[in-house]
């Protein structure tokens, strides 16, 4: 089974990128695609990446309240560029990991020991104003340690080729909805309503969610 780990990052979140990539490598993923907007951090070991792509990924992220399109459009473009790379490279799965997420060392074993699920995630806890929450929304049944939900987060998700060859990332209106949504709920909704593919999360696979550290602080969830 051929798996591509894909990380999207911008200067705004470069503070955690090195730890993110180190964790992906420690979990046994050998092929890592970094889609980066901005100046590459000087302490980053380029040997961690299979290829560099430069584009506007995450650009204008801090303007979310003023203009959703300024934040979400480049993110969707960046994710779709990674899907294109996975298709062209003949990968069976693409694993998206956000640059502020540190995955557990047993991710490869736990997330890919069940290939019945073609859209699946580890668990990411909220931080900051979302601390105490878990990025797992509108839950359904639990089965053998896996939870089905309408959507989790794209920040720690694996997509099988049967899905990423047929769906693209977008933001906007769900197929049967009227509320503007980001790419996370939209991808889950499109997978379910268009392809009949449910999104599952492994409950005992919990990633660390890093915030930008202040002086004297240690890593945060």
Percentage of residues of the chain with pLDDT beyond 90: 39
**Does the pLDDT value for residue 17 go beyond 80?**
yes
Quickly state the pLDDT bin for 215 (edges 50, 70, 90). very low
Phi, psi of 47 (to 5 degrees): -65, -15
pLDDT one-digit tens code per residue, 175-208: 776 677 888 889 999 999 999 999 999 999 999 9
Q: Which residues pair with 158 in a beta bridge?
A: 95, 120
Residue 181: CATH number of its domain: 3.90.550.40
Compute the distance between CA of residue 166 and CA of residue 151 in angstroms, rounded to an integer. Answer: 18
Q: SS3 string of the chain?
A: CCEEEEEEEEHHHHHHHHHHHHHHHHCCCCCEEEEEECCCCCCCCHHHCCEEEECCCCCCHHHCCCCHHHHHHHHHHHHHHHHHHHHHCCCCEEEEECCCEECCCCHHHHHCCCCCCCEEEEEEECCHHHCCCECCEEEEEEECCEEEEEECCCCEEEEEHHHHCCCCCCCECCCCCCCCECHHHHHHHHHHHHHCCCEEEEEEEEEEECCCCCCCCCCCC
218 is a domain residue: no
pLDDT at residue 63 in the model: 41
214 is a domain residue: no
Compute the distance between CA of residue 49 and CA of residue 54 in angstroms, rounded to an integer. Answer: 13
20 is a domain residue: yes
Quickly state the pLDDT bin for 37 (edges 50, 70, 90). low
185 is a domain residue: yes
> What domain range includes position 54?
3-209
Q: Give the chain's domain count.
A: 1
176 is a domain residue: yes
Question: What token pair was written down for 55?
Answer: 């584009």
pLDDT one-digit tens code per residue, 84-100: 989 999 999 999 999 88
135 is a domain residue: yes
pLDDT at residue 64 in the model: 41
217 is a domain residue: no
77 is a domain residue: yes
> What is the value of pTM for the model shown?
0.84
- Average pLDDT of span 41-48: 58
């Amino acid at each position: 089974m051929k798996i591509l780990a894909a990380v999207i990052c911008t200067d705004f979140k470069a503070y955690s990128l090195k730890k993110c990539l180190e964790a992906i490598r420690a979990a046994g993923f050998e092929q890592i695609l970094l889609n980066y907007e901005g100046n590459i951090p000087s302490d980053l070991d380029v040997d961690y990446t299979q290829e560099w792509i430069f584009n506007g990924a995450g650009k204008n992220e801090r303007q979310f309240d003023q203009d959703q399109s300024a934040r979400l459009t480049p993110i969707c473009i960046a994710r779709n560029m990674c899907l294109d790379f996975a298709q062209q490279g003949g990968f069976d799965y693409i694993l998206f990991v956000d640059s502020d997420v540190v995955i557990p060392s047993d991710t490869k074993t736990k997330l890919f020991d069940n290939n019945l699920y073609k859209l699946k995630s580890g668990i990411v806890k909220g931080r900051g104003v979302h601390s105490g929450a878990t990025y797992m929304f509108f839950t359904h049944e639990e089965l053998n340690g896996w939870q089905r939900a309408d959507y989790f987060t794209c920040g720690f998700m694996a997509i099988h080729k049967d899905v990423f060859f047929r769906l693209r990332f977008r933001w906007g209106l769900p197929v049967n909805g009227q509320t503007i949504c980001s790419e996370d709920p939209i991808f889950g909704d499109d997978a379910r309503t268009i392809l009949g593919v449910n999104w599952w999360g492994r409950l005992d696979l919990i990633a660390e969610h890093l915030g930008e550290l202040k002086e004297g602080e240690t890593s945060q969830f």
